[in-house]
A and B are shown apart, each in its own frame.
Chain A
């Protein structure tokens, strides 16, 4: 009999994040497909009552919590200790957790501590004929595997955006709080802050409906034999402003910045998508001046609707990677797009 534990941390305001509901959705489905299984929830944070109450209508039979000021900070030593205590108290055999930055820092170490196994970046979990399997991608999203394991506990980190959030309603949950003594050695690390670009300069927007990807073509010589980098910067910034899209970039364009060339200064490696960058999830994606070769398009794996603007009709996008390829000058098109969006926000 499997004991399925949904392991989550609360947000700064004590609420459960959307990613918790996504993991809960996967766990509830697994619980319903696994006869005799038990579903429990474990929460970590300064105070977990509000988070537990927010999802109290889910089919979980028990709630565990580790609370206290020490657990407000996303820190390996305290997070791992708290998660270990919950897993042991719940006697969990399957642990399902959202793959947040905080949990990604901890879950594999937790598996090691518990003598179990961990699979991260999981995009699906199923139980067929009593055998639980998870889907995840290998080689930077280039091939997908269905993995089964006999070892327990099995810790599964669900990639954000890969599941439908559960709509479990609120209620009153009784939380069994596990008391913990944190040794001084576990507090050697202190989180002192979060650095983020100013609101206007923040170009990475995970919740945006559109991913806008810029390729190295923006910095190349145009039809007049000259580069037009300031104009490119202006067009891209304007588009982000009027569309509220999230900005991605090909590796080559980001690398040019790292080499000290005077190009699009707002791009960093954090914007990079593709084989050595991120694979964000957005409903739509628009690529500009990017030739659509495999290392770049790996970053588009989880983009539902795709369109691309390129001057090359035979570029990689034309080979079944986008829904629509506009063979056109992105400078001209984006200028018009910006004007239309500005006129009709």
Chain B
């Protein structure tokens, strides 16, 4: 197989899922309390996209992976210390807010500019990967807008599997309703894939890969362009935590028979 892709993975960073999040109002709009103090991780679904990209590149010699990441430079550096040990990539960093309250259109515009600035980018070999939704805004909007800006009209979301044939035809499995997958065949690159979980486990840390990656990660972070997101025309009238706390009835010392009967009665109500 002589196909070689240029795979651009777009991945933001999000607060560690185990952290307690609380919204606050900042001069720039809603934000998270102690946002800069919260430990960050690579956006989970985008992380799967990165691992799938690396696996594809490994199997198709001549392919290359770029990781385009938008977030506060200091946080990106922290996250890259871990991510860079997973798979080989070249980082393109953009220094800006990682908040879920930013405008997807503006993030897409910045990502487009960064991707178009990648030297020797060949659109006929381009695969744009990312998570189908982020764990922050969770809209699934940025990638589609990015694809439109790049002129890519073969787009797929909720992807769990990609198979590339010898002739370059791609078979793509996308999640649809009811736990099913829609299977499509695409003639080839360029294409955009918003990944769900995929099929690959998280790669183990490899210090050798980390050393290689860090040669490009640090310079990329140093030259990361600051991005200002204006959020024009967007207003958050309120951002609140769900207040509903249930008055939990704790049933102890009841027999399995009694509990089962109560549950069955409740199911049948």
A residues neighboring B (CB under 8 Å): 74-77, 80, 100-102, 104-109, 111-113, 117-121, 133, 136-151, 185-186, 188-197, 202-206, 210, 243, 258-259, 269-272, 275-276, 284, 286, 294-295, 301, 305-307, 309, 313, 317-329, 332-337, 339-341, 344
Known: A76-B154, A109-B145, A138-B100. Is A326-B237 also a contact (CB below 8 A)? no
Chain B residues with Cβ below 8 Å from A329 are: 256
Chain A residues with Cβ below 8 Å from B253 are: 327
B153 close to A (CB within 8 Å):
yes
When the two chains form the complex, which single residue of B143, B173, B177 contacts A206, counting CB atoms closer than 8 Å?
B177
Cα distance A117–B21 when bound, in Å?
Answer: 26
Chain B interface residue bracket vs A: 35 or more
Residue in chain B with minimal CB distance to A100: B177
Chain A residues with Cβ below 8 Å from B237 are: 133, 145-148
CB-based contact B178/A324 at 8 Å: no
Chain A nearest Cβ from B245, distance in angstroms = 4
Taking A102-B176, A188-B186 as known contacts, 12 extra A-B pairs with beta carbons closer than 8 A to each other, sorted by chain A number, are A109-B155, A111-B145, A185-B153, A192-B184, A195-B183, A196-B178, A206-B178, A269-B160, A270-B179, A323-B249, A333-B259, A341-B267
Known: A117-B233, A276-B135. Is A139-B21 also a contact (CB below 8 A)? yes
CB-based contact B242/A301 at 8 Å: yes
Known: A324-B248, A327-B252. Is A194-B183 also a contact (CB below 8 A)? yes
Known: A192-B184, A336-B257, A340-B261. Is A108-B139 also a contact (CB below 8 A)? yes
CB-based contact B239/A112 at 8 Å: no
Chain B nearest Cβ from A257, distance in angstroms = 11
Q: Mark B9-43, 1 if CB is under 8 A from A, else 0.
A: 00000110110110100000010100000000000
Which of these binds chain A: B64-72, B78-86, B101-109? B101-109
Chain B residues with Cβ below 8 Å from A106 are: 144
B2 close to A (CB within 8 Å):
no
CB-based contact A294/B20 at 8 Å: yes
Residue in chain B with minimal CB distance to A340: B264
Residue in chain A with minimal CB distance to B45: A276
CB-based contact A204/B182 at 8 Å: no
CB-based contact B180/A195 at 8 Å: yes
Known: A196-B179, A333-B260. Is A284-B267 also a contact (CB below 8 A)? yes
CB-based contact A210/B267 at 8 Å: yes
When the two chains form the complex, which single residue of A148, A202, A322, A328 contacts B248, counting CB atoms closer than 8 Å?
A322
Residue in chain B with minimal CB distance to A76: B155
B147 close to A (CB within 8 Å):
yes
CB-based contact A333/B256 at 8 Å: yes
Residue in chain A with minimal CB distance to B143: A108
Chain A nearest Cβ from B202, distance in angstroms = 9
Known: A275-B17, A325-B248. Is A337-B260 also a contact (CB below 8 A)? yes
CB-based contact A189/B154 at 8 Å: yes
Chain B residues with Cβ below 8 Å from A294 are: 18, 20
Q: Mark B219-259, 1 if CB is under 8 A from A, else 0.
A: 00000000000001111111111100111111111101101
Near A by CB (< 8 A), chain B positions 54-104 give 100-101, 103-104
Chain A nearest Cβ from B71, distance in angstroms = 15
When the two chains form the complex, which single residue of A121, A326, A339 contacts B259, counting CB atoms closer than 8 Å?
A326
Known: A194-B180, A295-B17, A323-B248. Is A149-B233 also a contact (CB below 8 A)? yes
Cα distance A202–B180 when bound, in Å?
Answer: 9
B157 close to A (CB within 8 Å):
yes
CB-based contact A109/B147 at 8 Å: yes
Residue in chain A with minimal CB distance to B261: A340
Cα distance A206–B136 when bound, in Å?
Answer: 25
Chain A nearest Cβ from B241, distance in angstroms = 5
Chain A residues with Cβ below 8 Å from B186 are: 188-189
B149 close to A (CB within 8 Å):
yes
CB-based contact B182/A74 at 8 Å: yes
Chain B residues with Cβ below 8 Å from A146 are: 236-239
